[in-house]
Structure 1
Amino acid sequence: MRIGIAEDVALLREGITSLLEQHGHIVLWSVSDANELRARLHTPADEQIPELLIVDVRMPPDNTDDGLRAAIDIRRNHPEVAILILSQYLGNEYAKDLLVGAPEASGGTGYLLKERVGRVTDFLTAIDTVGGGGISIDPKVVAALLDAGPSRGALATLTDRECEVLAHMAEGHTNEQITRLLHLSTPTIERHVSSIFTKLDLSEHPGNKRVLAVLEYLKSW
């Protein structure tokens, strides 16, 4: 996969680059400034357009949420580029904007806490999920949403088990992985997923139902 990296901490930037290259990915470029990130995607040559962007939330020039705001701008012009956000925090309104806008983009979307980068398997799994067009939300973010509970709309009709299945879907897990995590049979998980789609009125929707279900869940954030 062709990847671009925006991270202002040199050690982390080089570490991510090395890890990705060791696992067969191509790092096209890396930048340490949100303005430079925008410039890279302004008028790039075709071979310099990444399939996936890994973007730190907090970056120069203002060291607030410059990276995240740059990612949102890039998503408007390059909806085909997958975006994986790295953050030290559970999220903010810009993060919600990026995630809720995911159905209009053909590229995947992810939000990962930086501590997860050190867990190599989890990080690489998120890379594959988001790069493949899916959604991957850090389990701690999902847990915070789960604690808040489904508070509005069709989410209130989901059972506790369906909420649990949906939470695992939000983390990017497949049905097979959820089966192992919850120690349930594959047909049982499939029934829960089908029920979630029905209750959220997604059964006949032409789009990616898993992505849309997760985003309905994230609206309670």
Structure 2
Amino acid sequence: MRVALADDVALFREGVAHLLTEAGFQVVAKVGDAAELLAHVDADPPDVVVVDIRMPPGFGTEGLEAAREIRRRHPDVGVLVLSAHVEPHYALWLLDSDARGAGYLLKDRVTDVVELTDAVRRIAAGGLVIDPGVVARLVGRRRVGSPLETLSEREREVLAVMAEGRSNQAICDRLYLSPKTVEAYVRSVFTKLGLQQGPDDNRRVLAVLAYLRR
């Protein structure tokens, strides 16, 4: 699998490249700004792009904007945006109603090789990946009269894992529940939140995020 990296900090960029290479990925580009990333992707599209949210020259949202532009120009290229801070609004901005092959992770998560490589593979396969820290912030917001208040503690746990882009089997593994039990919790969560279950995991994640962004 071919991956392009973009981060203005050379040490971090090389570190991620090393981790991915050791895990069997082919790192085809390592660049320090968004413009160079776009040029590389246009010339030779990789399977997945990993890009820092804040890039030169302004260190604002250049990386995020580049990720969205890559999705527009090359819809088959997955994009994983990295951030040093929990910024749910940027994660939600990345994922529109037709999102697939996209993700948002905190940079701290990159030190976990399993977490990083799993995210890249899921994104390459067209899945959605949302950092648990972002999900926790969204799920934990206190809103008066919100149906979230009607969820049990276990239902909230299921909702949180679901919103990360995980499948029912992954929820089983994370929470040590049987498949039938997870299916029951998922149905209950969707019923209480007034949501329709989508035909695939991405539709389900987008439905949950659409609710949580209110």
Query: Which of 58, 71, 75 pairs up with 2:71?
Result: 75
Distance 1:80 1:183 in 2: 34
Q: May I ask how many residue pairs the two structures share in their alignment? A: 211
* Paired residue type of 1:60: P
Match for residue 9 of structure 1?
Answer: 9
**Kindly, what percent of the aligned residue pairs are identical?**
45
* Paired residue type of 2:119: A
> Residues 70 and 151 of structure 1: is their aligned pair in 2 closer, same or farther, counting only changes over 3 Å?
farther
- 1:156 Cα deviation after fit: 4.5
Contact 1:134 1:211 in 2 (8 A): no
More off after superposition, 19-28 vs 189-198: 189-198
Match for residue 108 of structure 1?
Answer: 101
Is 1:55 aligned with 2:48? no
Contact 2:103 2:129 in 1 (8 A): yes
- 1:168 Cα deviation after fit: 0.5
Distance 2:70 2:150 in 1: 35
> Residues 192 and 90 of structure 1: is their aligned pair in 2 closer, same or farther, counting only changes over 3 Å?
same
The root-mean-square deviation of aligned C-alpha atoms, in Å, is: 2.5
Q: Secondary structure at the match of 1:41?
A: helix
Is 1:144 aligned with 2:140? no
Distance 2:32 2:74 in 1: 20
- 1:98 Cα deviation after fit: 0.7
Contact 1:79 1:104 in 2 (8 A): no
Question: Structure 1 length as normaliser, TM-score?
Answer: 0.83
> Residues 181 and 34 of structure 1: is their aligned pair in 2 closer, same or farther, counting only changes over 3 Å?
same
**CA deviations over 1:139-175 (Å, ceiling 9, x no partner):** 111111121057788x658623333212112223332
Question: Structure 2 length as normaliser, TM-score?
Answer: 0.85
- 1:111 Cα deviation after fit: 0.9
Distance 1:117 1:6 in 2: 14
**1:125-140 counterparts in 2 under 5 A?**
125-140=118-133
Q: Secondary structure at the match of 1:104?
A: coil
Distance 2:165 2:98 in 1: 18
Q: Secondary structure at the match of 1:61?
A: coil
For structure 1, which runs of at least 5 residues remain unmatched after alignment? none
